[in-house]
Amino acid sequence: MPSSSLPCTARRPTLDALAEAPAFPLDSHPNRRPLSSRATAWAHWLADGLVRAKVSPNSVSLASLVFAALGAALLLRGAQPWCLVAAAACVQLRLCCNLLDGMVAIEGRRQTPTGVLYNELPDRVADSMLIVALGFAVAASWLGWLGALAAALTAYIRVLGGSLGFPQDFRGPLAKPQRMAVLTGALLIAALELAVFETRLALLGAAWVIALGSLVTCVARARAIAARLHERGAA
Residue 20 lies in a domain: no
Do residues 81 and 191 touch, judged by C-beta distance below 8 A? yes
The per-residue pLDDT for 13 is: 52
CA-CA-CA-CA dihedral for 19, 23, 27, 28, to nearest 10:
160
The per-residue pLDDT for 8 is: 39
For 151-187, the pLDDT digits (tens) are: 999 999 999 999 999 999 999 999 999 999 999 999 9
Residue 97 lies in a domain: yes
pTM: 0.85
Residue 109 lies in a domain: yes
183 vs 74: CA distance, rounded Å? 13
pLDDT at 190 over 60: yes
The per-residue pLDDT for 79 is: 82
* CATH value at residue 129: 1.20.120.1760
CA angle in degrees (0–180, nearest 5) for 127-182-227: 75
Structural domain range at position 59:
35-234
Domain count for the chain? 1
Give the side-chain half-sphere CA count within 13 A for 213: 20
Q: Which residue has the higher pLDDT, 17 or 142?
A: 142
Share of the chain above pLDDT 70, in %: 87
pLDDT at 108 over 90: no
The per-residue pLDDT for 19 is: 47
Q: Which residue has the higher pLDDT, 180 or 106?
A: 180
pLDDT at 53 over 80: yes
212 vs 179: CA distance, rounded Å? 11
Residue 153 lies in a domain: yes
For 68-94, the pLDDT digits (tens) are: 999 999 999 888 999 999 999 999 999
Residue 219 lies in a domain: yes
Measured in Å, how far apart are the chain's first and last C-alpha atoms?
64
The per-residue pLDDT for 35 is: 85
Residue 5 lies in a domain: no
Residue 180 lies in a domain: yes
Residue 185 lies in a domain: yes
The per-residue pLDDT for 22 is: 36
